[in-house]
Chains A and B, each alone.
Chain A
Amino acid sequence: MLFLCLFVLSSCVTLPKDAFKLSPTSLEDRQLQSRKFTTLDNKLLLSAGASVLQDMGYTIDESNTALGVLTASKQADATDAGQIAGAIAVALLTGVMTPTDKEQKIRICLVIQEALDEQTSSVARITIQRMIWNTQGQISRVERIHSPELYQAFFDKLSKATFLEANQI
């Protein structure tokens, strides 16, 4: 028991060894998160990105045209019907209602860089993260959202907003 306690405590304070190592899938992730646009106009891509994010209810937290950075966030519902059903089932058996996910803060970061292989193109890359709070107001999960479908949907919108084609890198 003591060992378990110590283990749990030590896992809280020790940084995972791979936290600053490029993951084996980092190249593939980059490809999924990036699209190439035939323009060198950072401002065009970023302002289109800002309006796309605004349409989806995001607040812009940070923007830097010269460096090609745009970061936005929004608060959203995080209730999951399956999870609540599970909690109710547990509550019926034990009489104790376990906390379920309630709210989430989603953050999207869009970065525009010049394409290395073509001098007339830019590469737009998005990364998404979220923090989830449960019904007791505690943080229940912090994670990145890795979904090729979401990336694709975002770039479809960005492509429409800029009237430019989004190409795979």
Chain B
Amino acid sequence: MRIIKYGWAMFVVVMLLVGCATQNSHVLSGGSAVELRSFQTRAFDTTDKHKMMRTTIAVLQDLGFIIDKTDEDLGLVTGTKLSGYQIRMTVIVQPRGEKQLAVRASGIYNNRAIEDPLPYQDFFAALEKGIFLTAQEID
């Protein structure tokens, strides 16, 4: 009887520990795929960060997003789209070398990271049109 009782206690403790481990494993998960970063990023031949940020904001508005947050020092624009689903986009504009800007976009669709290259291609196609510059793929 006693063994069964302790057995149960052990089982519960082990399950709790397992629960902790798997939940915490998500804290720093993702981000290992170099590929993901490459299709989330494009380089543009301009150094006008302010204009790039304003264009990003305008393009996000065209795509039906509301701007949640902006930070010019970090080159950050975050927006949300609600259309029966929810998409949150984080766009970061940073200098790349002396003559270029790198724009990285990452999206969350209904609480899941968007890891498919196509939505990013569409986003950058819209951004290209807005800024009148070609979005170059980078390695």
CB proximity to B under 8 Å, residues A2-38: 12-13, 15-17, 19-23, 26, 29-30, 33
Q: Does A39 contact B (CB under 8 A)?
A: no
Cα distance, A109 to B84, chains bound together (Å): 19
A127, B64: Cβ atoms under 8 Å?
yes
Q: How many residues of A contact B (CB 8 A)?
A: 37
Given A66-B50, A143-B82; A111-B57 close (CB under 8 Å): yes
A146 to chain B, nearest CB (A): 9
B82, A130: Cβ atoms under 8 Å?
yes
B122, A109: Cβ atoms under 8 Å?
no
CB proximity to A under 8 Å, residues B54-81: 54, 57-58, 61-72, 80-81
B54, A68: Cβ atoms under 8 Å?
yes
A20, B68: Cβ atoms under 8 Å?
no
Q: Does A102 contact B (CB under 8 A)?
A: no
Cα distance, A131 to B93, chains bound together (Å): 29
Q: Mark B64-108, 1 if CB is under 8 A from A, else 0.
A: 111111111000000011111111000000000000000000000
B65 to chain A, nearest CB (A): 8
Q: Does A55 contact B (CB under 8 A)?
A: no
Given A66-B72, A131-B82; A21-B61 close (CB under 8 Å): no
A109, B72: Cβ atoms under 8 Å?
no
Cα distance, A33 to B64, chains bound together (Å): 11
A26, B62: Cβ atoms under 8 Å?
yes
A64, B70: Cβ atoms under 8 Å?
yes
B83, A113: Cβ atoms under 8 Å?
no
Residues on B with C-beta less than 8 A from A62 are: 67-70
Residues on A with C-beta less than 8 A from B118 are: 17
CB proximity to B under 8 Å, residues A110-168: 111, 113, 125, 127-131, 141-144
Contact of A15 among B53, B119, B126 (CB under 8 A): B119
A13, B112: Cβ atoms under 8 Å?
yes
Given A109-B66, A109-B67; A20-B119 close (CB under 8 Å): yes
A168 to chain B, nearest CB (A): 18
Cα distance, A23 to B64, chains bound together (Å): 9
Cα distance, A12 to B123, chains bound together (Å): 21
Residues on A with C-beta less than 8 A from B109 are: 15, 19
9 contacts between A and B (CB under 8 A): A21-B122, A22-B63, A29-B62, A62-B70, A64-B72, A68-B54, A107-B66, A107-B80, A142-B82
What residues make up the interface of A, taking CB atoms closer than 8 Å to B?
12-13, 15-17, 19-23, 26, 29-30, 33, 61-62, 64, 66-69, 71, 107-109, 111, 113, 125, 127-131, 141-144
Closest 8 CB pairs of A and B: A20-B122, A142-B82, A109-B66, A64-B70, A20-B123, A129-B82, A20-B119, A15-B109
